[in-house]
């Protein structure tokens, strides 16, 4: 049912934790299953210098958080902002249809953290 990479990220999740005084913070829960995700980002020179998350949910939700954090860590904010649910699911080797909402949490919570950052630092928001 799950790919080897999903099982690996669930068994050994990366970047778990909390960043004190984050530059951006996003929190989202799934109305479908009740999973909850929090994402914290630190931004330096227009890049995600650090990212941490806490996820309360199923294996797919935890793996989605882990792989999404790896995909954007060190990346420019503009690249991180383009991360989609489909990107996360594809990086995990696909998700069963019943678990696609889990990948939605990772990208959406990241976008909330980016929006929080831009609200605090409007001068950093990309033009156009």
Q: Which of 7, 16, 33, 36 is catalytic?
A: 33
Which residues lie closer than 8 Å to 16 by C-beta, 6 or more apart? 52, 53, 54, 66
Check 102, 105, 107, 109 and give the catalytic one.
102
Contact, 115 vs 80, CB < 8 A?
Answer: no
Element (H, E) at 48: strand 47-56
Q: Does residue 58 carry a catalytic annotation?
A: no
Question: How far is Cα 81 from Cα 76, in angstroms, rounded to an integer?
Answer: 9
Q: Tell me which residues are annotated as active site.
A: 33, 102
């Amino acid at each position: 049912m799950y790919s080897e990479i999903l099982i690996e990220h669930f068994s050994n999740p990366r970047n778990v934790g909390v960043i004190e005084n984050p530059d951006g913070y996003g929190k989202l829960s799934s109305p479908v299953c009740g999973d909850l995700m929090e994402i914290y980002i630190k931004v330096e020179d227009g890049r995600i210098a650090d990212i941490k998350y806490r996820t309360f949910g199923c294996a797919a939700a935890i793996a989605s958080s882990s792989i999404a954090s790896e995909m954007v860590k060190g990346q420019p904010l503009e690249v991180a902002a383009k991360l989609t649910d489909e990107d996360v699911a594809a990086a995990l080797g696909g998700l069963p249809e019943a678990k696609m909402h889990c990948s939605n949490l990772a990208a959406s919570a990241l976008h909330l953290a980016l929006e929080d950052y831009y609200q605090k630092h409007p001068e950093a928001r990309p033009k156009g």
